[in-house]
Amino acid sequence: MPRKSPPRHRRTKSSYKPGKARRHSHSPFKKLADFFGEVLAGKNIFKFLVLATIWGTVLVGIIVAYFAYEIPDILRKTDLKQHPSIVLEARDGTVFDRYGEYHGDTLTIKDMPAHLVQAFLAIEDRRFYEHGGIDVFGILRAGVSNVLAGHLVQGGSTITQQLAKNLFLSSQRTTRRKIQEILISLWLENKLSKDEILAAYLNRIYLGSGAYGVDAAAHLYFNKSARDVTLREAAILASLPKAPSRYSPLNNPEAAEARSRVVIQAMIDAKFLLPTQKSDTVTQAPLPGKKPGGGGDGKYFVDWTMDQLGDLIDEQDEDVIIRTTLDLPMQREAERQIDNMITDKGKASNVTQAALVSIGQNGAVRALVGGRDYAESSFNRATQAKRQPGSSFKPIVYLAALERGIDKDEKLLDAPIKIGGWSPENYTENFRGEVSMKDALAYSINTATVRLAERTGAGRIQKLATKLGITTPLHRELSLALGTNEVTVLDMTSVFAVFAHHGRAVIPYAIEKITTRSGKILYERGATAMPQLVDSDNVAALDEMLQACVSYGTGKKAALNQTASGKTGTTQDYRDAWFIGYTGRMTTGIWLGNDDNKEMNKVTGGSLPAQLWHDYMQAAYTHEEQDTEPAYTREQSGGFKRFLDGLFDDDRVKVEPDYPDGRR
């Protein structure tokens, strides 16, 4: 019987699926969970550290790459050129103001005294020569100090990082900027030597009052080069980066002194100094408290000067030094006198503002005050404000009459007058009958002046006023004779300067010379003796009348212990009060009033303005001028020639026929 083969086993269906079970038990999440479980159990720690290092490096690389993406553009686009500053000097060479950034000489580390370099290293980055741009130990030390203090007391930035920020980055405190700062610091350390980095930092660090770099700051604060600063001065300079304004020896000498002692102690701790050297600095005289330039504000004068600069020179790539006409003692005296007068009498007299201009023989402006307080208002009332001059305009009328041929000894009638619908009245409301021209001007008689103006012609008066230096539009009406047109204090003072100059032209100016810091002359005014504008005999006759005004007329309060000539001016309702006068060497114009044009408390030109003029001129003459009259050479005056050509062009003012009633 044949053998039967063994029965085959049939495969039956089952819910067990080996493939699915295998994939589930070995998924990445399960493996990762198992791996961390083993790490927590103390197994595979080495493997974990290796993986963490690899992935941490990759992550850091991605972050660095992201923030470094902008760096090539930052390095390429940054303007490394120092922006020039403008330094203003008074006539004696004293620096009294600056515009823009002020930079000194670019010095190497070898050019600087060792104690200057050490002072900055001790207080800013003691391990500068040891780290590679980033001071890890410094960061840790600062972190510990800040935690212990409970607030920020130390920073961890190195000098290289500060240079990177100053050269290439903004002052924004963001993570992006901080990482970029670190990367650029490493780049600087790779490209430059340590001495080059430190020198770049010391030549560019901001040290207050517009000064960038140690040399500029040394000149500003100590009037010397950084090459020559003492240990104590070096400590003061090194104290400034923390808070340039707070520790400025100009603004706060006590704080500067205290902070400098902190720097000295830091130098001792860093073993740059011996403890005995600290006492040497403490025993020195205290720092004097002063303002930049040694005093006087002169801000209104500075603004007026800067307005003229663009007409004289083109934009420069290096620092510009302007030698101005300003006399600092006179400027300070003018500011002091105005402030004292308004403080003492302003409230009772309802006077809140004043303006003053002093002009030398040749047109040099020695003092200019455009208001009581520049900090409250920078509006220049000496050069920008247009106010009615009142009777201070009358000398132009009398000179125009003399120029027309009217004899100085002629009598004028002081009596009621009516021209058209206009009836001018005298301030005193009295009439004297016939008076001399001298008395008519000395006593500022309106009716007599209007009659003289009618004979002379409003058009002739208008033309002469413009020729003498009035730049504002003048209406051709007889009321012009009483100062009803608006003018500036500067213009009116320049007109009287022509009288003081025997009829020669006087153009007020502020700039004598402009040079670059390297000594290149950009502009020099040269000799400027001026051409004759009006007949000197007629000016001499007018001068007699103006002397009478001061000696016995409306300007008696302005009388000095020497010959003085001048004229008062008061407008309707006491809104403006003037006194303008001159001596042999100087012409000064003063205006008092209010910005809102409110009337003063019966202030006339012969009261407060005349008294202020007297007090100022008396004090100013302790600084008596020595101006001379050099030969006039237009070729030496550059762009000034074109100005003169336009000013003395007789066709500039067209004269129309005059009518008796002043109609056009």
Q: Indicate whether 16 pLDDT > 70.
A: no
Q: What are phi and psi of 206, to 5 degrees?
A: -80, 125
In this prediction, residues 412-422 reach a mean pLDDT of: 89
Angle at alpha carbon of residue 66, lines to 61 and 71, rounded to 5°: 110
pLDDT level of residue 523 (50, 70, 90 thresholds) = very high
For 319, the token pair is 């620092």
Answer whether residue 661 shows pLDDT above 60: no
Angle (nearest 5°) at CA 232 between 230 and 238: 100
- What is the token pair recorded at 192? 């430059």
Q: 350 and 280, same structural domain?
A: no
99 and 209 together in one domain: yes
Chain segment 630-651, per-residue pLDDT in tens: 433 333 334 444 444 444 444 4
Selected catalytic residue, list 85, 89, 124, 358: 124
State the burial class of residue 413 (Cβ atoms within 10 Å of its Cβ: 0-12, 13-18, 19+): middle
Residue 131 resides in a domain: yes
Q: Please enumerate in sequence order all residues whose Cβ is within 8 A of that of 312, keeping only pairs 6 or more positions apart, or say none.
A: 511, 514, 522, 523, 638, 639
Taking Cα atoms as reference points, which of 625, 647, 556 lies closest to residue 359? Answer: 625
Are 283 and 391 part of one and the same domain? no
Q: Do residues 454 and 527 share a domain?
A: yes
Residue 43 lies in a domain: no
Average pLDDT, the chain: 80
- Residues 440-475: tens digit of each pLDDT: 999 999 999 999 999 999 999 999 999 999 999 999
> What is the pLDDT, as a whole number, of residue 407?
93
Given 266, 294, 322, the domain boundary residue is 294
Same-domain check for residues 181 and 234: yes
Radius of gyration, alpha carbons of the chain: 39
**DSSP for 94-161, written as a single string:** -EEEEES-EE-----GGGS-HHHHHHHHHHH-TTTTTSSS--HHHHHHHHHHHHHHTS-------HHH
Measured N-to-C along each axis, helices 458-468 and 446-456 cross at an angle, to the nearest 10 degrees, of 90
The percent of residues above 90 in pLDDT, for the chain, comes to: 48
109 lies in the same domain as 155? yes
Q: Is residue 445 part of a domain?
A: yes
Q: How far apart are CA 159 and CA 441, in angstroms?
A: 72
The model carries a pTM of 0.67
Catalytic site includes residue 196? no
Tell me how far apart the alpha carbons of residues 566 and 586 are, in angstroms, rounded to a whole number: 12
Name which of 409, 340, 394, 346 is nearest 369 in CA terms. 340
Q: What's the rounded Cα separation, in Å, for the pair 174 and 54?
A: 27
Residue of 349, 391, 444, 637 marked catalytic: 391
Q: Domain end: 234, 268, 294, which one?
A: 294
Helix (H) or strand (E) holding 321: strand 320-324
Q: Is 646 exposed, middle or buried (0-12, 13-18, 19+ CB in 10 A)?
A: exposed
pLDDT, mean of residues 262-272:
92
Together in a domain, 249 and 342 = no
Q: Specify the CATH number for the domain of residue 202.
A: 1.10.3810.10
Domain holding 554, by residue range, is: 330-652
Q: What is the DSSP letter of 318?
A: S
Distance CA(135)–CA(132), nearest Å, equals 7
pLDDT in the model for residue 425:
86
CB-based contacts of 530: which residues, under 8 Å, 6+ apart?
A: 362, 363, 501, 504, 505, 506, 507, 632
Three-point CA angle 77, 181, 101, nearest 5°: 60
- Would 80 be classed as within a structural domain? no
Residues 396 and 442 both lie in one domain:
yes
Residues 335 and 290 placed together within one structural domain of the fold: no
Asked if 124 is an active-site residue, the reply is yes
- Segment 199-215 mean pLDDT: 86
307-316 average pLDDT score: 83
**Which pLDDT value is given to residue 521?**
94
Q: How many residues does the chain have?
A: 664
Closest CA to 229 of 111, 113, 109, 102: 113
